[in-house]
């Protein structure tokens, strides 16, 4: 049970929980229709309730709610509903920075200031399912604001979706995508060839680098070494992997376990084989 503190629109209210006397954002179709401040409301099935004391990357939730249009909060909520269907339990506190981003995106598009994201292709591959969920925003924004979102904006929404399903900030997800892009760029530089982003080996390489970085951050180590085998069988790929690890260590301020070199070399060799077989 909640007591209405402020009506945002027909579907959204700021309310006080009658049990804990704390502020919440409550969203449900028609929940505020015909209602006034201080009235009590009962949430039904399908209602979304957000605690307003959450501290997000973009500030305190209660402050974001004051500045973001209720329609943008509703759109972010719809994206999270779809993400929950796809991934199961998620961290819904990402609603606030996502809604904030959506509102700025709408303003940018209306002012013809659409941004370019050089990592869009990498995000689409790295966070494939998140990107598929984020694509729903294309129709939602068209219906609600009559604006057309592009693939770059969808990529940023995908990072917010990713942040909702793992314990990782949007900025960290972007840093990961950037690291993977640097790795691919270095492979292209060493080989002198552009890597085909549609190949399975490219997808595997990207995902391997993603989890390699995650293992390093979490202090996890691979148990079996392939280094000796790769040094003898594929010395060029191994040498390239060794250089890549060293360069990524410098750019990311991390230290990769030596065992990682052999596995990275294996994925590089697969990419090189794809390129040479064309």
pLDDT tens across 71-95, in order?
999 999 999 999 999 999 998 989 9
Structure confidence by residue, pLDDT tens digits, 160-189: 999 898 877 788 788 778 877 887 887 788
Average pLDDT score over residue span 192-208:
79
- Torsion sign, CA atoms 186, 222, 122, 149: negative
Q: Which of 155, 165, 158 is nearest to 87 (CA)?
A: 165
158, containing H or E segment: helix 151-165
Q: What is the pLDDT of residue 3?
A: 93
- From residue 168, alpha-carbon distances to 63, 110, 163, 275 in Å are 22, 31, 5, 34
- Comparing CA positions, the residue from 148, 127, 152 lying closest to residue 139 is 148
Report all structural domains of the chain as residue ranges with CATH numbers, in order of start. Answer: 1-52 (2.30.24.10), 55-167 (1.10.1790.10), 171-276 (1.10.1790.10)
Please say if the pLDDT value at position 150 is more than 70: yes
Residue recorded with tokens 């997800």: 173
Dump the DSSP string for 189-247. Answer: HHHTS---TTSHHHHHHHHHHHHHHHHHHHT---SS--HHHHHHH-HHHHHHHHHHHHH
151 pLDDT more than 90: yes
More confident position, 278 or 18: 18
> 22-26, 216-220, 232-236, 259-263: lowest mean pLDDT where?
216-220
State residue 118's pLDDT score.
83
For residue 76, give both structure tokens.
Answer: 């972010």
Q: Residue 277: pLDDT above 60? A: no
In terms of phi and psi (left: phi > 0; alpha: psi -120 to 50; beta: otherwise), the region of 6 is beta
Among 268, 213, 217, which residue's Cα sits nearest to residue 238?
Answer: 268
Q: What value does the mean pLDDT take over residues 112-120?
A: 83
Which structure tokens are listed for 220?
């996890």
Average pLDDT over residues 238-247: 90
CA distance 30 to 163: 29
Q: Which residues contact 175 (CB under 8 A, 6 or more apart)?
A: 252
């Amino acid at each position: 049970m909640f007591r209405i503190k402020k009506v945002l629109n027909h579907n959204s209210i700021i309310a006080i929980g009658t049990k804990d006397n704390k502020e919440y954002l409550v969203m449900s179709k028609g929940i505020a229709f015909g209602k006034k401040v201080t009235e009590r409301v009962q949430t039904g099935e399908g209602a979304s309730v957000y605690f307003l004391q959450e501290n997000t990357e973009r500030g305190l939730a209660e402050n974001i709610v004051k500045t973001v249009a209720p329609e943008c909060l509703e759109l972010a909520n719809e994206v999270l509903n779809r993400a929950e269907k796809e991934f199961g339990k998620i961290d819904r506190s990402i609603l606030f920075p996502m809604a904030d981003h959506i509102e700025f995106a709408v303003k940018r598009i209306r002012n013809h200031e659409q941004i370019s994201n050089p990592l869009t292709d990498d995000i689409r591959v790295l966070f494939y399912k998140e990107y598929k969920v984020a694509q729903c925003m294309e129709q939602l924004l068209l219906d609600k604001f009559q604006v057309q979102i592009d693939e770059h904006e969808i990529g940023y929404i995908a990072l917010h979706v990713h942040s909702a399903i793992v314990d990782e900030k949007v900025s960290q997800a972007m840093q990961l995508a950037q690291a993977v892009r640097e790795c691919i760029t270095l492979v292209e530089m060493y080989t002198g060839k552009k890597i085909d982003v549609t190949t399975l080996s490219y997808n595997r390489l990207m995902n391997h680098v993603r989890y390699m970085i995650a293992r390093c951050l979490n202090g996890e180590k691979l148990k079996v070494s392939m280094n000796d085998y790769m040094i003898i069988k594929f010395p060029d790929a191994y040498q390239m992997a060794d250089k890549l690890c060293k360069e990524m260590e410098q750019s990311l301020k991390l230290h990769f376990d030596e065992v990682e070199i052999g596995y990275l070399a294996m994925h590089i060799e697969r990419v090189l084989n794809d390129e040479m077989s064309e």
